[in-house]
Chains A and B, each alone.
Chain A
Amino acid sequence: MPPPGQEQDMKTPTAQPTQRKNGLGIVPRLYYSARRGWKWFAIFLTVTGPGVIVMVADNDAGGITTYAATGAKYGYGLLWFLIILGPVAYVIQEMTVRLGAVTKRGHAEAIFDAFGPFWGWFSLTDLLLTDWLTLITEFIGMTAALSIFHIPPLLTVIVVSIIMILMVLQGRYWTWEKIALFFCLFNLVYIPGAILVHPSVSDIIHTGVIPNFPGGFNNNMFFFLMANIGTTIAPWMIFFQQSSVVDKSLKERDIPWGRLDTAVGAVATVLVAVFIIITTGSVLKGSAVQDAASAAVALMGINKWVGTLLAIGLFDAGFLGAICISLASSWAFGEVFGWAHSLNNKIKQAPWFYASYVLLLASAGTVVLLPGAPLVLITLFVQVIATTLLPAAMVFLILLLNDKERMGEYRNTVLQNIITVGVVIVIVALSTMYAVTTLFPNLLK
């Protein structure tokens, strides 16, 4: 204990800075706050990427079609459901951030390592099949969107494939990520699109925010709810974000930033979905929308700019979905087969990784160009196959996040388990019913 005479001296140095700080004028204080804010923002910009990209890419071509059709069918009536799906998607994707940052392994490799080859091969082959079929739907969306501007599908497939190949071949994860984030910005075109149709804010609040089932809960409503769940939570997202976190070399200390990145992405994905529903719900309510491209054409008849924005957004959605989905597969194969599989590798260093990426893109693009290809059947089949992988991927995710040896202090807490297990049970039950009703449409009638 210091002598009484020295007590005051010891307190003085700590007291001085406080006095000095409090003595600052408003302008310097604002300056320091702004500088601190800018510093945090700069760190966020450095760490942001996987979460925002995966969430925005989740609004892929199939997603845009689903939202456009939902708005056209039920107006603003199901907006509340999309708002609920945002936190649900966040809860699942946040786990991939922790798992990737702690284990430094992608999801495919983590499944192989933890549960053995049977579950490993099951997940990998199912992922490949789901991704390939989904990739075809992304090409369908992109070609349909650009056909509105009289660009032939062949030219779209070739040019888009070349851009996507060049994006990964430049040899830096950082550059790929920033280009992808740039394309994510285009996804926001739906916001001015919705503003241009002058929606009634009062109607949106009264009919969209309060949970309700317009027209009652029937077979059609169930189909739409499930289609929205299916487009918001997809198996490839789990594989993509975990591999992306690993490729970006995020560490345990980056987990809070990864969470923020994912949360921002979740908000963006819900915003985009909500604004698409507002657009089609305002001007196309009551009309049957088969796909987003036909919605864009219909909107062009009402407001040229809105239709154009929807078409641009559809193309961008398909593009983002395609780059993420093809990478998710290539990363997964690279992890399991032991190939070099980082976007930081040059072609010579990781030939199989890049070859699998190109092969996946080229084959999916070719199928779209084949005359008479069963594209509608493929779109339906995607939902069914994804249903088999989604429960498995989510169950593995929760089991891995509860492995004390693997996760240590980062394993799920009791509250996280209650939330995630609840979410998984609901999604598994609903998606199974969706798969069954897709296969047997008259079952619930």
Chain B
Amino acid sequence: MSDTEEKSHGSRGSFFGRRFARIREINKKYAGHHVTMTPAVKVALFLLRIYLLVLVAILFVKFFTILAGR
């Protein structure tokens, strides 16, 4: 399906269909980085990913601790 067809299909579709079409549009509009990817930027983004993964892991541990406690 071409982009135009996809858009027109989205605009005619259900409420959620239209919202998802809009989200796809946003993803397309902002696809890729538009910041100069210096080594410092790459390292910062990498560390941020690791940090968030650790934080999510901690939240999961807490979640299962609560479940086990019950």
Contacts and interface: CB of A to CB of B under 8 A. Distances in A.
Contact of A439 (B48, B51, B59): B59
Interface stretch (A38-46, A113-121, A210-218, A264-272): A113-121
A115 B51 CA distance: 17
Contact of A392 (B30, B40, B52, B59): B52
Contacts, number: 59
A172 interface: no
A112 B30 contact: yes
Interface in B1-54: 22, 26-27, 30-36, 40-41, 44-45, 48, 51-52
A395 B48 contact: yes
A113 B34 contact: yes
Contacts of B32: 116
Interface in A100-114: 112-114
B9 to A, nearest CB: 19
B30 A120 contact: yes
Interface in A357-404: 384, 387-388, 391-392, 395, 398-400, 402-404
Given A112-B30, A336-B26, A399-B41, A392 B36 contact: no
A388 B41 CA distance: 19
A115 B31 contact: no
A439 B63 CA distance: 10
A101 B34 CA distance: 19
Given A116-B31, A399-B41, A435 B58 contact: yes
Contacts of A387: 55
**Interface residues of B toward A: which range?**
20 to 34
Nearest to A436: B58
Contacts of B40: 402
A172 B59 CA distance: 42
Nearest to B28: A117
Tell me the dominant secondary structure on chain B's binding face. helix
A112 B27 CA distance: 9
Nearest to B41: A399
A403 B30 contact: no
Contacts of B55: 387-388, 432, 435
Given A113-B30, A439-B58, A388 B52 contact: yes
B48 A392 contact: yes
A115 B45 contact: yes
A440 B69 CA distance: 13
A404 B26 contact: no
A403 B31 contact: no
Interface in A106-143: 112-117, 119-120, 122
A117 B35 contact: no
Contact of A117 (B22, B27, B36, B51): B27
Contacts of B34: 113-114
A337 B35 contact: no
A160 interface: no
Contact of B51 (A336, A338, A391): A391
Contacts of B48: 391-392, 395
A220 B40 CA distance: 37
A187 B22 CA distance: 41
Contact of B44 (A113, A395, A405): A395
Contacts of A206: none
A405 B52 CA distance: 28
A122 B48 CA distance: 12
A386 to B, nearest CB: 12
A120 B23 CA distance: 12
A438 B27 CA distance: 35
A232 to B, nearest CB: 21
Contacts of A398: 44
A406 B35 CA distance: 8
A428 interface: yes
Given A115-B45, A116-B30, A337-B26, A384 B59 contact: yes
Interface in A428-442: 428, 432, 435-436, 439-440
Interface of B: 22, 26-27, 30-36, 40-41, 44-45, 48, 51-52, 55, 58-59, 62
9 contacts: A113-B34, A117-B27, A117-B31, A120-B26, A388-B52, A391-B51, A395-B44, A399-B41, A406-B35
Of all A-B residue pairs in the complex, the 7 with the closest CB atoms, nearest first, are A114-B35, A112-B30, A117-B27, A439-B62, A403-B35, A113-B34, A117-B30
